[in-house]
Amino acid sequence: MLLLTRTSCAGVLIFLLASLALSQESLAKAYVDGGLSAYRSGRFEESELLFRRALGESKNVSNEELRFEVAKLSLNGLTLALRSQRKFAAAEEVARDMIKLLELNPSDDAGDLGIALNNLGLILREENKVAESEAVHRKALALRETIKDGRANVAISMLNLGALFFDQERYSEARVLFIRASDILNSEVKQATRDKDMDLLEEYLLSWATCRQNLAAININENRQYSEALTFVQQAITAREITQGKDHPDLIDPLSDYAKVLRKLGRTREAIAVEARVRKLKAK
């Protein structure tokens, strides 16, 4: 029979507590991983549920650093899951909670705060809270430029702020940001190609395509420079076809602009063919 002294009892207790903490940590991280997997597969309701459970379990993680990390990942994932379901009011609340968490932990990487501000700005734009969205996007851009948070992240903030200006028909301001973002992303695409990092290459190429597509739209709506618009929209379509395939629904908008430009340039037969392709994509 094993007799436990006071010292050995204390050791067993410490071991049990450590095991419990590890169990809670593992459970919380499992919920985070499950939430990410569901989100990437487009199962947004399931993703929301798993991130909420992860957030709840984070409170039971004894290690302060790990508790903060799980809470941060849970709040970020929950924000994305809610926004994808167009639950904008709930997403805004969670995004603000994440910003508060990060501001209470200023020693953490400020890049995470840039992500949180960017997410909040996008949600506010969806809610048509234009002035506040602009203020938040400006704050995110200033932060990312100050801390040198990766050139690609700076470009994404420029792209999002430019899109907000575009919505308000502030085309001159939007154009400057889209051109700057496009130049940065073009450089990042080349670097990702050299590094053979296919995930980053796809991400940067799609963002670059959005810049070119937006520049085409400005040329169509503002100054009617259709030849330049044609070049921009062709670049956007090619980039999306490379990364997303020729039947992806994200091609509908740039192809529609392409057809519009072709008609303005008198290339009616080509426009009719592109319009037929748009109808086919919409029917899927």
Mean pLDDT of all residues in 155-170: 95
Residues 59 and 111 both lie in one domain: yes
| Domain-embedded: residue 68 | yes
Evaluate whether residue 139 is within a structural domain. Answer: yes
Residue 110 has pLDDT above 50, yes or no: yes
**What value does the mean pLDDT take over residues 103-123?**
85
Do both 144 and 175 map to the same domain? no
Proportion of the chain above pLDDT 70, given as a percent: 89
Answer with the residue of higher pLDDT: 110 or 247: 247
Name the residue type at position 240: R
Residue 124 has pLDDT above 90, yes or no: yes
Q: What is the pLDDT of residue 222?
A: 83
240 and 132 in a single domain? The answer is no
Inform me whether the pLDDT recorded for 149 exceeds 50: yes
**Which of the listed residues 149, 182, 217 is the one where a domain comes to its end?**
149
Same domain, 205 and 271: yes
Closest CA to 25 of 76, 53, 67: 67
Quick check: is 157 in a domain?
no
| 166 within domain boundaries | no
| Whole-angstrom distance, CA of residue 104 vs CA of residue 93 | 17
pTM, two decimal places? 0.80
CA separation for the pair 261, 39 (Å, rounded): 36
pLDDT at position 18 is: 41
Residue 66, in any domain of the structure: yes
Predicted local distance difference test score (pLDDT) of residue 16: 36
pLDDT value of position 15: 34
Q: What is the 3-state secondary structure (H, E, C) of the chain?
A: CCCCCHHHHHHHHHHHHHHHHHHHHHHHHHHHHHHHHHHHCCCHHHHHHHHHHHHHHHCCCCCHHHHHHHHHHHHHHHHHHHHHCCCHHHHHHHHHHHHHHHHCCCCCCHHHHHHHHHHHHHHHHHCCCHHHHHHHHHHHHHHHHHCCCCHHHHHHHHHHHHHHHHHCCCHHHHHHHHHHHHHHHHHHHHHHHHHCCHHHHHHHHHHHHHHHHHHHHHHHHHHCCHHHHHHHHHHHHHHHHHHHCCCCHHHHHHHHHHHHHHHHCCCHHHHHHHHHHHHHHHHC
Same domain, 144 and 216: no
Residue 156: per-residue pLDDT: 94
pLDDT tens across 216-249, in order?
999 998 878 899 999 999 999 999 999 999 999 9
- Look at residue 6 in the predicted model and tell me its pLDDT: 35
Whether 66 and 175 map to the same domain: the answer is: no
Same domain, 191 and 275: yes
The Cβ of residue 194 has, within 10 Å, a number of other Cβ atoms equal to 9
CATH number for 191: 1.25.40.10
Lowest mean pLDDT among 8-17, 137-146, 273-282: 8-17
* Residue 5 pLDDT > 60: no
Tokens standing for residue 200:
């980053």
Q: With b meaning 16 or more CB within 10 Å and e meaning fewer, what string describes 6-15?
A: eeeeeeeeee
How many distinct structural domains can be found in the chain?
2
Residue 53 covered by a domain? yes
Task: Say if 112 falls within a structural domain.
Answer: yes
- Same domain, yes or no, for 116 and 186? no
pLDDT-derived band at 109 (thresholds 50, 70, 90) equals low
Instruction: Show which of 80, 114, 149 is a domain's final residue.
Output: 149
Q: Is the pLDDT of residue 252 over 80?
A: yes
Is residue 16 a part of any domain in this protein?
Answer: no
Range of the domain at 139: 25-149
Let me know whether 135 and 181 are in one domain: no
CB burial readout 236-245, b (16+ within 10 A) else e: bbebbeebbe
**pLDDT digits over 30-84, tens only?**
889 899 998 988 889 999 999 999 999 888 888 888 889 889 999 999 999 999 9
CA distance 48 to 134: 27
